[in-house]
């Protein structure tokens, strides 16, 4: 198979040259022992873009070894925070330089609109790298007073070591940045397994990693199937930590493999069935706007998608009128079409899954207010779908659908809303809309979610931590907290004055 | 439009031209001073005039404060996200980097330090300090604090607003970077007065700040005298905070003026008479090398210089012999010659002051072990000088000389030397040389100084705090600590249900 794929983008006339090998030790290489490839599909056309090398278990092993050597010699404690900061800022500069090209590649592979990919996904990713570049020389431990006459006690925040990172297909570049940035800032080395559905931008970013000047082995990229590469990293005896973003089902497997192998540290960002609550005092137009964004941004393929909306009885009709109008007017189509707000579902498998849920919603007796009809033609397009009159035990209310499908319920009291919202094994995000400040505080306090939005939804910032409660995850990304996921605290007790004696 | 000074360089260290604006930098523009007067900038290598720069006055300070306040209220402070402030600081660092050698050359020309030192330390450290604080700009965190169910309590770390910064002539560009880094990162606007002796690299930096895209009024530079511009800044009712680096004598005046005007917040980095203690079990060669650096770096014009060198009697003779050889090897001369270690002192006044201390040492009965005189007859060159056989009450032992002059004192007892080391009204820094790490740490912990060096001296990093105990200062620069100097804590209590 070709070492460099020439990828042509009809909409813009651009041709992108993309290495299709595995990125190990700053080189693109074929698999050590396998001929397997991944067929990368354009979800808007259902056609193959190109093939890339699929890493085998042996390749994972080679990548881990490269990362280990780098950690022991050119990275880890052998590089200063100042140098890590410099390299990360350089990488951010290069991504900025190639922003448009990366956006078009992201759209081709993932389907999201080019403008969104460029200004939001990649724009935020550049900021993310710069944010963590700023932390690199600020990894502070503490000196702790024990006994001033005899002991100096202090902590060092050491980098954990070699980190396996497994990322999903919904925000390929942004998930890459969220993972790589804090790991590098602290001094860890990385073996990154991008999703087998969307490996292309990860490979392009690897080229930029090399161009920025990172030593070989610091970042390694090994596209492969989850069951091969993801499993291998989770079970590897020489990987110190695995960070995974994806489904809760797979997250369990990652944690299990970590426990069974070497008790490697685990952080997980999993699924959600996040509630968006509209109280009667809310600015209804705004609440409807945020609710629509909450389920339709990124075509609902978002772990924090506000996929359950609960509306207080007294404002139900007025709110629903506003919401339905906004949902109906959301154009879903080809990401290269500038009038489009959201793109196709990522793959055939996901497409079938989403339709399965829409069918089950109908079968279980929910009422279809918008959508629910299949589109003709090529591309995995699912039009926005809104269900009302839902019951709590319906699949569309309990399960994560990961598409533009919304379940709307109603409530009368604040207690009831909180009860409905928290009645889930997930706990990733939640939103509430109200102009009563005390209510906002009470409800935001009561909601069992790692992120609570008040009068907003789905807006994140690189410096505010993000993650799940309950079965939505373990650990936090973004903000200062992400650094903790990649550091290991060593306490040093330096005795300079105490004479020991034995026997006591 | 004020003139632009374009010195030409054609020497072993730098061939090229520099560009230095000579006006005042107020509200993003280069302007003449309101008095129309000028200050002479002198080349300390030969005492000759380099150029004239505009002399600012109290009126110019008023104009700058108005501009800075407007900027704070409209385009800076809470109106500019931290990530953008960080980006601008990084851009400034990029521009400084692109004119690296030009900055080194002008610093050497104006201050007299060698081009090599400016390159290895001053300019490099200035850039890394700016980059370090660029990284903090979007990380100014307050706290949320749990009290009880009826209350949401949190703190905001807000910028003061308009801050005044007065910097000295010993590390002109470096002192500028230490000041603007944390001040701008946290969202303050700045009125800066560089030293009238060494304004040139500050003038270059101001234009680079303009080029980087900082909004007008965020940074303002006014060259002027301490008793006019400095005084105006310290007394100004529109300035919420003043940061000063310089002599303890002037530091007192600053604090007094701040108290008398509007009780503005004050941080001070003042003088020192830092002890350097070398125990018998020190690595002799290393101790000698570091000690020389500790005393003679920057021609002794360093607040934290290790100017009182205590050597334990067991190695005193050996140390003195090796140290003497080291001192003899110091090459004093043209700052632009590649093999020069030490250039001239910064000005005639400083030269006279140092020479008078040397004279007082002789008169009070100390022995000039080496040096003690002027070099050449133009420029302000002084021989590296060491006194021995001193007594504790001598002026050369008590007072800060700020020149290449140190005292070497023999000691016997550990308790005694710690006592002698601490017996000073200063407390900026201290150093200990010993290969017994237990003794080194114990001693370091007992020394009353803001920086304690163990087996090193005069080495700093942008992320490690620096500042003085006792009369050496108030507050800390560098590191995360510097951010506290430029933020005001607001506690917000939101009542969620407590009925009165």
Question: Is residue A103 domain-shared with residue A226, that is, in the same domain?
Answer: yes
CA distance A82 to B463: 10
Question: Is residue A96 domain-shared with residue A218, that is, in the same domain?
Answer: yes
Question: Is residue A112 domain-shared with residue A98, that is, in the same domain?
Answer: yes
A498 is known as an active-site residue: no
CA distance A130 to chain B (A): 8
Interface probe, candidates B135, B151, B437, B482, chain A, greatest A C-beta count within 10 A: B135
Question: Is residue A105 domain-shared with residue A190, that is, in the same domain?
Answer: yes
Contact A130 B137 (CB under 8 A): no
Question: Is residue A206 domain-shared with residue A79, that is, in the same domain?
Answer: yes
Residues of A in contact with B132 (CB under 8 A): 82, 137
Nearest Cα residue in chain A from B134: A134
pLDDT digits (tens, 9 = 90+) for B440-460: 999 999 999 999 999 999 999
Average the pLDDT over A11-36 and give the result. Answer: 97
Instruction: Label residue A410 left, alpha or beta by phi (over 0 means left) and psi (-120 to 50 means alpha).
Output: beta
The answer, for B131 touching chain A at a CB cutoff of 8 Å, is: yes
CA distance B203 to A279: 58
CA distance A449 to B365: 77
**Mean pLDDT of the residues in chain B:** 97
pLDDT of B493 above 70: yes
Question: Is residue A255 domain-shared with residue A191, that is, in the same domain?
Answer: yes
Write a three-state SS string for A309-363.
Answer: EEEEHHHHHHHHHHHHHHHHCCCECCCCCCCCCECCCCCHHHHHHHHHHHHHHHH
pLDDT digits (tens, 9 = 90+) for B10-25: 999 999 999 999 999 9
Q: B376 preceded by cis ω (within 30°)?
A: no
How many domains does chain A divide into?
Answer: 2
pLDDT score at B277: 98
pLDDT of B1 above 90: no
pLDDT digits (tens, 9 = 90+) for A421-461: 999 999 999 999 999 999 999 999 999 999 999 999 999 99
A306 falls within a domain: yes
A142 falls within a domain: yes
A-proximal residues of B, 241-300, CB under 8 Å: none
pLDDT digits (tens, 9 = 90+) for A279-310: 999 999 999 999 999 999 999 999 999 999 99
pLDDT of A1 above 60: no
Contact B135 A152 (CB under 8 A): no
Confidence of residue A504 (pLDDT cuts 50, 70, 90): confident
A254 falls within a domain: yes
Closest CA to B364 of B402, B388, B391, B399: B391
Question: Is residue A390 domain-shared with residue A299, that is, in the same domain?
Answer: yes
pLDDT digits (tens, 9 = 90+) for B240-256: 999 999 999 999 999 99
A462 falls within a domain: no
Nearest Cα residue in chain B from A464: B139
pLDDT score at A322: 98
Task: Read off the CATH number of the domain in which A239 is found.
Answer: 3.40.605.10
CA distance B326 to A362: 90
The answer, for B143 touching chain A at a CB cutoff of 8 Å, is: no
Q: Which of A280, A303, A414, A485 is catalytic?
A: A303
Task: Read off the CATH number of the domain in which A352 is found.
Answer: 3.40.309.10
Q: Which of B235, B303, B304, B383 is catalytic?
A: B303
CA distance B232 to B237: 10
Structure token digits, residue A41 = 């599909």
The last residue of one of the domains, among A430, A454, A478, is A454
From the DSSP assignment, how many helices (H) and strands (E) are in chain B? 16, 24
Closest CA to B191 of B231, B227, B131: B231
**Mean pLDDT of the residues in chain A:** 96
Average the pLDDT over A196-212 and give the result. Answer: 98
Confidence of residue A497 (pLDDT cuts 50, 70, 90): confident
Contact B86 A130 (CB under 8 A): yes
Q: What percent of chain A has pLDDT over 70?
A: 100
Average the pLDDT over B54-75 and give the result. Answer: 98
Cβ neighbors of A338 (< 8 A, separation 6 or more) are A113, A114, A115
The answer, for A157 touching chain B at a CB cutoff of 8 Å, is: no
Is the entire prediction scored with pTM above 0.90? yes
Question: Is residue A87 domain-shared with residue A159, that is, in the same domain?
Answer: yes
The last residue of one of the domains, among A236, A270, A304, is A270
pLDDT score at A445: 94
CA distance B191 to chain A (A): 26
B456 is known as an active-site residue: no
What is the number of other CB atoms lying within 10 angstroms of the CB of residue B299?
Answer: 30
pLDDT score at A503: 82
Average the pLDDT over B100-125 and give the result. Answer: 98
Average the pLDDT over A59-82 and give the result. Answer: 97
End-to-end CA gap in chain A: 72
Nearest Cα residue in chain A from B139: A463
Q: Which residue has the tokens 């809310």?
A: A282
pLDDT digits (tens, 9 = 90+) for B353-390: 999 999 999 999 999 999 999 999 999 999 999 999 99
Q: Which of the residue ranges A137-151, A331-345, A378-392, B332-346 would you say has the lowest mean pLDDT?
A: A137-151
Q: Which domain holds residue A351?
A: 275-454
Average the pLDDT over B165-194 and give the result. Answer: 98
Question: Is residue A234 domain-shared with residue A329, that is, in the same domain?
Answer: no
Cβ-contact A247, A404 below 8 angstroms: no
What are the start-end ranges of the H helices in A136-261? 172-186, 200-212, 231-235, 248-260
Average the pLDDT over A58-73 and give the result. Answer: 98
Question: Is residue A261 domain-shared with residue A307, that is, in the same domain?
Answer: no
pLDDT score at A38: 98
Question: Is residue A136 domain-shared with residue A101, that is, in the same domain?
Answer: yes
A468 falls within a domain: no
The last residue of one of the domains, among A270, A296, A331, is A270
Nearest Cα residue in chain B from A439: B496
pLDDT score at B66: 98
Average the pLDDT over B198-209 and give the result. Answer: 98
Residues of A in contact with B441 (CB under 8 A): 152, 494, 496
Dihedral angle of Cα A72, B456, B424, B251, to the nearest 10 degrees: -70
What is the number of other CB atoms lying within 10 angstroms of the CB of residue B36?
Answer: 9
The answer, for B144 touching chain A at a CB cutoff of 8 Å, is: no
The answer, for B160 touching chain A at a CB cutoff of 8 Å, is: no
pLDDT of A102 above 70: yes
pLDDT of A350 above 90: yes
Confidence of residue A2 (pLDDT cuts 50, 70, 90): low
The beta-carbon neighbor of A148 closest among B86, B137, B445 is: B445
Q: Which residue has the tokens 């000579």?
A: B22
Confidence of residue A246 (pLDDT cuts 50, 70, 90): very high
The answer, for A463 touching chain B at a CB cutoff of 8 Å, is: yes
Inter-axis angle of helices A123-135 and B82-98, nearest 10: 70
Contact A135 B139 (CB under 8 A): yes
CA distance B30 to B25: 5
A-proximal residues of B, 427-456, CB under 8 Å: 437-438, 441-442, 445
What are the start-end ranges of the H helices in B198-347? 200-212, 231-235, 248-260, 284-296, 316-328
The answer, for B141 touching chain A at a CB cutoff of 8 Å, is: yes
Read off the DSSP letter of residue A377.
S
Contact A134 B480 (CB under 8 A): no
Residues of B in contact with A441 (CB under 8 A): 152, 494, 496
pLDDT of B269 above 60: yes
A129 falls within a domain: yes
B-proximal residues of A, 399-458, CB under 8 Å: 437-438, 441-442
pLDDT of B497 above 90: no
A484 falls within a domain: no
Contact A82 B437 (CB under 8 A): no
The answer, for B395 touching chain A at a CB cutoff of 8 Å, is: no
A42 falls within a domain: yes
Structure token digits, residue B185 = 């990162």
Question: Is residue A44 domain-shared with residue A155, that is, in the same domain?
Answer: yes
């Amino acid at each position: 198979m070709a070492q460099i794929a020439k990828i042509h983008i009809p909409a813009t006339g651009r041709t992108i040259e993309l290495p299709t090998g595995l990125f190990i030790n700053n080189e693109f290489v074929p698999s050590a022992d396998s001929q397997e490839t991944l067929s990368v599909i354009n979800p808007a056309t259902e056609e193959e873009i190109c093939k890339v090398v699929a890493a085998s278990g042996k390749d994972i092993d080679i990548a881990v070894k490269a990362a280990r050597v780098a950690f022991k010699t050119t990275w880890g404690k052998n590089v200063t925070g100042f140098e890590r900061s410099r390299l990360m800022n350089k990488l951010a500069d290069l991504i900025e330089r190639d922003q448009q090209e990366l956006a078009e590649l992201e759209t081709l592979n993932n389907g999201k609109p080019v403008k969104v990919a460029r200004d939001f996904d990649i724009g935020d990713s550049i900021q993310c790298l710069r944010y963590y570049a700023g932390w690199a020389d600020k990894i502070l431990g503490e000196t702790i007073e024990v006994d001033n006459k005899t002991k100096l006690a202090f902590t060092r925040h050491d980098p954990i070591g070699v980190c396996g990172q497994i990322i999903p297909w919904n925000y390929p570049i942004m998930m890459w940045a969220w993972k790589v940035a804090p790991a590098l800032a602290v001094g860890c080395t990385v073996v990154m397994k991008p999703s087998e559905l969307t490996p292309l931008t990860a490979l392009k970013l690897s080229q930029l990693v090399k161009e920025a000047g990172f030593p070989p082995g610091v970042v390694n990229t090994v596209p492969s199937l989850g069951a091969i590469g993801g499993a291998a990293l989770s079970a590897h005896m020489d990987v110190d930590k695995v960070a995974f973003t994806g489904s809760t089902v797979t997250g369990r497997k990652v944690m299990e493999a970590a426990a069974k192998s070497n008790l490697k540290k685990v952080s997980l960002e999993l699924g959600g069935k996040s509630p968006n609550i509209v109280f009667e005092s809310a600015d209804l137009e705004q609440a409807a706007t945020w609710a629509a964004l909450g389920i339709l941004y990124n075509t609902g393929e978002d772990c924090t998608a506000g996929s359950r909306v609960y509306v207080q009885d007294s404002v139900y009709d007025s709110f629903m009128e506003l919401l339905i109008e906004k949902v109906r007017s959301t154009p879903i189509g080809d990401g290269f079409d500038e009038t489009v707000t959201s793109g196709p579902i990522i793959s055939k498998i996901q497409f079938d899954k989403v339709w399965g849920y829409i069918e089950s919603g109908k079968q279980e007796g929910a009422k279809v207010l918008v959508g629910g009809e299949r589109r003709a033609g090529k591309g995995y397009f699912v039009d926005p779908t809104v269900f009302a009159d839902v019951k709590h035990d319906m699949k569309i209310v309990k399960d994560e659908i990961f598409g533009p499908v919304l379940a709307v319920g109603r409530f009368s009291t604040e207690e009831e809303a909180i009860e409905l919202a928290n009645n889930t094994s997930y706990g990733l995000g939640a939103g509430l809309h109200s102009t009563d400040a005390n209510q906002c505080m009470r409800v935001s306090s009561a909601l069992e979610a790692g992120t609570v939005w008040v009068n907003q939804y789905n807006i994140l910032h690189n410096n505010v931590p993000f993650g799940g409660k309950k079965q939505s995850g373990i650990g936090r990304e973004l903000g200062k907290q992400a650094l903790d996921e990649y550091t290991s605290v060593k306490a040093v007790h330096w005795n300079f004055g105490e004479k020991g004696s034995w026997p006591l | 439009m004020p003139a632009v000074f374009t010195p030409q360089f054609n020497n072993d260290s730098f061939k090229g031209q520099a560009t230095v604006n000579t006006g005042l930098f107020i509200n993003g523009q280069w302007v003449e001073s309101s008095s129309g007067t000028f200050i002479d900038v002198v080349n300390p290598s030969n005492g000759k005039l380099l150029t004239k720069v505009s002399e600012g006055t109290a009126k110019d300070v008023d104009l700058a404060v108005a501009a800075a306040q407007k900027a704070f209220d409209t385009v800076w402070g809470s109106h500019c996200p931290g990530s953008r402030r960080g980006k601008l600081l990084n851009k400034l660092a990029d521009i400084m980097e692109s004119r690296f050698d030009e900055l080194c050359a002008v610093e050497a020309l104006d201050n007299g330090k060698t081009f090599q030192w400016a390159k290895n330390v001053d300019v490099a450290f200035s850039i890394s300090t700016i980059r370090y604080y660029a990284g903090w700009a979007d990380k100014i965190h307050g706290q949320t604090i749990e009290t009880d169910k009826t209350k949401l309590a949190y703190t905001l770390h807000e910028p003061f607003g308009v801050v005044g910064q007065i910097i000295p002539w010993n590390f002109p560009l470096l002192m500028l970077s230490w000041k603007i880094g944390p001040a701008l990162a946290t969202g303050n606007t700045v009125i800066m007065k560089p030293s009238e002796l060494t304004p040139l690299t500050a003038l270059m930096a101001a234009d680079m700040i303009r080029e980087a895209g900082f909004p007008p009024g965020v940074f303002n530079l006014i060259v002027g005298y301490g008793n006019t511009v400095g005084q105006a800044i310290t007394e100004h009712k529109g300035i919420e905070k003043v940061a000063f680096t310089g002599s303890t004598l002037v530091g007192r005046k600053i604090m007094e003026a701040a108290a008398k005007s509007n009780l503005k917040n004050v941080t001070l980095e003042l003088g020192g008479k830092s002890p350097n203690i070398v125990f018998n079990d020190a690595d002799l060669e290393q101790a000698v090398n570091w000690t020389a650096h500790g005393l003679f770096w920057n021609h002794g014009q360093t607040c934290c210089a290790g100017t009182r060198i205590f050597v334990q009697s067991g190695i005193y003779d050996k140390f003195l012999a090796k140290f003497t050889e080291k001192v003899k090897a110091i090459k004093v001369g043209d700052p632009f010659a590649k093999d020069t270690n030490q250039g001239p002192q910064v000005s005639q006044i400083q030269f006279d002051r140092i020479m008078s201390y040397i004279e007082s040492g002789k008169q009070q009965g100390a022995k000039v072990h080496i040096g003690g005189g002027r070099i050449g007859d133009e420029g302000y060159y002084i021989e590296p000088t060491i006194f021995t056989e001193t007594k504790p009450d001598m002026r050369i032992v008590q007072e800060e000389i700020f020149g290449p002059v140190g005292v070497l004192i023999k000691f016997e007892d550990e308790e005694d030397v710690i006592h002698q080391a601490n017996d000073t009204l200063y407390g900026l820094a201290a150093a200990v040389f010993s290969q017994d790490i237990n003794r080194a740490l114990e001693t370091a912990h007992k020394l009353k100084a803001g920086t304690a060096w163990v087996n090193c001296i005069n080495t700093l990093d942008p992320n490690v705090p620096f500042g003085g105990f006792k009369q050496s200062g108030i507050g800390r620069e560098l590191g995360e600590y510097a951010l506290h100097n430029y933020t005001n804590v607001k506690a917000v209590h939101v009542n969620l249900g407590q009925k009165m």
